[in-house]
Chains A and B, each alone.
Chain A
Amino acid sequence: MAKGDRGAPARGTEVAGEPVPDFVQLLTPDGERIDKSVGADGVEYTVDFTDEEYRGLYRDLVVIRRLDTEATALQRQGELGIWASLLGQEAAQVGSGRALRPQDMAFPTYREHGVLYCRGIDPIMPLSLFRGVDLGAWDPAEFKVNMYTIVIGAQTLHATGYAMGITKDGKVGGDDGEAVLCYFGDGATSQGDVNEAFIWSSVFHAPIVFFCQNNQYAISEPIEKQTRIPLYRRADGFGFPGLRVDGNDVLATYAVTRAALDNARHGQGPTLIEAYTYRMGAHTTTDDPTRYRVASEVEEWQAKDPIARVRAFVEKQQIAGADFFAEVDEQAKQEALHLRERVLAMPDPHPLTLFDHVYPNGSPVVDAQRERFAEYLDSFEGSAH
């Protein structure tokens, strides 16, 4: 190598290959409980759950996967326009979603159905968006989950601004302090908005946790198309801690997210969490992943399934037995059935509603168009149209 030539960095070795560095893990894929795990931030992480809590996490994981499967089926049957499946990312979503305290606010992408579930949002609500009857159904203030954001990365700035508002309101510093949990994907890290959010949150010491689900793909593009270093290390350059967690480990994800949120609420500023996981399904129901990835890669990740390891653990520890698993499966089935029935019964919106809510104070232009369109529709009354 010539003097001064730093050479090209190794391509993707640390990023996509094994072994994964600095990975907080508390539950192995085989269901072995690791007592403590040190993160890239030098902090030791662990969880101290009761048996009931372990069973609760298992229940969440199984139910959201079942609901997701139902949504995929509904799309295939033409009942949804499109569906963005969370398959494979259940632990990242339940671990982080359950780590939120009631006063915290979450800003999702379009794939955080599991987080919504943890926040008590009726699973029908994201489905109305994907069915095409509305553009977002739940009240963000009621559930403390903002609307889905489809424009990649845009919500990271909204989340940062919201967190700045928490500081301005004096709501940081105590146990009752508030924090923001901001979701985005690996692909999103390339957007200017996301990098600006990192800068803002750092400069204003905002109470925010950036939760990046690195599911290894942005549609067809593997993570190497976005970065030459592990994503969590980006935080360093912006001036706040970053760490990587096994995103298929619900315990570790919970532990790091809970700690980062508590740090934020106590006035210690932002953290970037990279939840290392895998998108087991297609990007959305319109995508065909066989065009860009090999089956063996999917199989490899299948062995790291986020649910199987919890089941193995609770079985081994005799925290739960056959009756419990059967009962959870039954609950998941019933919730899915209930969801299906309600999707099928969901009425189409009335045409004139498309003129609603354009402005808080209304607009004569919109009003005139609504009136004219109503007359136009009436002109077809009684005709075969």
Chain B
Amino acid sequence: MAEKLTIGKALNAGLRRALEHDPKVLVMGEDVGKLGGVFRITDGLQKDFGEDRVIDTPLAESGIIGTAIGLAIRGYRPVCEIQFDGFVYPAYDQIVSQVAKMHFRSQGKVKVPMVIRIPFGGGIGAVEHHSESPEAYFAHTAGLKVVACSSPQDAYTMIQQAIASDDPIVFLEPKRRYHEKGEVDLDATYPLHASRRLRPGTDATVLAYGPMVRTALDAATAAEQDGRDLEVFDLRTLSPLDLEPVYESVRRTGRCVVVHEAPSNVGLGAEIAARITERCFYSLEAPVLRVTGFDTPYPAARLEEDYLPDLDRVLDAVDRTFGW
């Protein structure tokens, strides 16, 4: 069965299905109930599943994650919504010191199967703290898995897989793409922690995730007019990374550009570039280049188009790999 859905609606449908499928699944966060979340991702869920399962919490992120841990120990599967990326930090201690380490410390006796949903990234003209890309903080933490969806199909499928997984998962949603539409196969099955080649190409490999996947694909379309054939990957899983298919690609193309909105300093791109260099050294025609946000705080909205990687900056980096 297939349906045409936006990313936002697909997440909503995925959450709904998870709530139907398992009575232990809970949705909790600020404004997720009556309002349906500020992005309406949980729209209608409280009405249909009740206040016991779709919970408007007090305004405290550390409280949301900390109590979700307790609920998880008690056998529930909480899906926590953090309203915006920049508001996850009050919960950082609970996520990094508690969520991530429970299983390890208890020698596997305690599982905290929870999902921490975070709308992330910029491009929506918001005020500060509403446009950040905190993925590296979490990917850096052993014990957490981190994934990012970029399409309605993945939004629908990955959210259910994340909820079903016993691993605690930070689930990143590309907020500026919430309204993008696409075909969703409601019965599709494929692995959660796998990267995906979205576009085959021969000249250079472009890696992206979340909101930058669209940008990378647009860049590939534009590059075609310059006679360049770019291969594009959606990384999908940021921790663990799934780079085997990427190594295969880079060995063919000899060139690789990594794109993310997050700043470059000690970011995902650095880890990816290091691994590709280790594994594809003799095939590389140029160093792996990064197209990222700058190493500044996220700027005021009128400057975000300058701050964020766009099609031109991706193509500029591709050009530079050819000029090496």
**Chain A residues in contact with chain B, CB under 8 A?**
81-82, 110, 129-135, 150-152, 187-188, 190-193, 218-221, 225-226, 286-287, 291-292, 348-349, 351, 353-355, 358, 363, 365-366, 369, 373, 376, 379-380, 385
B60 CB to nearest A CB, Å = 4
Residues on A with beta carbons closer than 8 Å to the beta carbon of B31: 219-221
Q: Are A81 and B126 in contact (CB under 8 A)?
A: yes
Flag whether B125 is at the interface (Cβ < 8 A).
Answer: yes
Flag whether B240 is at the interface (Cβ < 8 A).
Answer: no
Contact of A358 (CB < 8 Å), options: B296, B312, B316: B296
Q: How many angstroms between the C-alpha atoms of A152 and B307 in the bound complex?
A: 25
Residue of A nearest to B34 (CB): A292
A-B CB contact pairs (8 Å), 25 listed: A81-B127, A134-B300, A150-B127, A150-B128, A151-B87, A190-B59, A192-B63, A218-B59, A219-B35, A220-B33, A221-B56, A225-B56, A225-B58, A291-B36, A348-B302, A349-B300, A354-B294, A354-B299, A354-B306, A355-B296, A358-B296, A369-B296, A373-B294, A376-B313, A385-B312
Given A188-B59, A221-B30: A366 and B296 interface contact (C-beta under 8 Å): yes
Given A221-B31, A351-B306, A373-B294: A191 and B59 interface contact (C-beta under 8 Å): yes
Q: How many angstroms between the C-alpha atoms of A130 and B316 in the bound complex?
A: 32
B interface residue count range (under 10 / 10 to 19 / 20 to 34 / 35 or more): 35 or more
Given A81-B126, A366-B296, A376-B316: A191 and B90 interface contact (C-beta under 8 Å): yes
Residue of A nearest to B264 (CB): A369
Q: Are A190 and B296 in contact (CB under 8 A)?
A: no
B127 CB to nearest A CB, Å = 6
Given A219-B35, A354-B307: A190 and B127 interface contact (C-beta under 8 Å): no
B198 CB to nearest A CB, Å = 26
Residue of B nearest to A134 (CB): B300
Q: Are B295 and A150 in contact (CB under 8 A)?
A: no
Given A219-B30, A221-B30, A358-B296: A191 and B56 interface contact (C-beta under 8 Å): no
Q: Are B59 and A82 in contact (CB under 8 A)?
A: no
Q: Are A132 and B30 in contact (CB under 8 A)?
A: no
Residues on A with beta carbons closer than 8 Å to the beta carbon of B299: 135, 354
B48 CB to nearest A CB, Å = 16
Q: Are A355 and B294 in contact (CB under 8 A)?
A: yes
B30 CB to nearest A CB, Å = 7
Q: Are B58 and A226 in contact (CB under 8 A)?
A: yes
Residues on A with beta carbons closer than 8 Å to the beta carbon of B35: 219-220, 291-292
Residues on A with beta carbons closer than 8 Å to the beta carbon of B126: 81-82
Q: How many angstroms between the C-alpha atoms of A81 and B124 in the bound complex?
A: 9
Residue of B nearest to A288 (CB): B35
Q: Are A349 and B303 in contact (CB under 8 A)?
A: yes
Residues on A with beta carbons closer than 8 Å to the beta carbon of B300: 129, 132-135, 349
Residue of B nearest to A221 (CB): B56
Q: How many angstroms between the C-alpha atoms of A366 and B297 in the bound complex?
A: 11
Q: How many angstroms between the C-alpha atoms of A46 and B31 in the bound complex?
A: 39
Flag whether B202 is at the interface (Cβ < 8 A).
Answer: no
Given A82-B125, A131-B302, A369-B295, list of 15 further CB < 8 A pairs? A132-B301, A132-B302, A135-B299, A151-B89, A152-B87, A221-B59, A225-B58, A226-B58, A226-B59, A286-B38, A287-B38, A291-B35, A351-B306, A354-B294, A358-B297
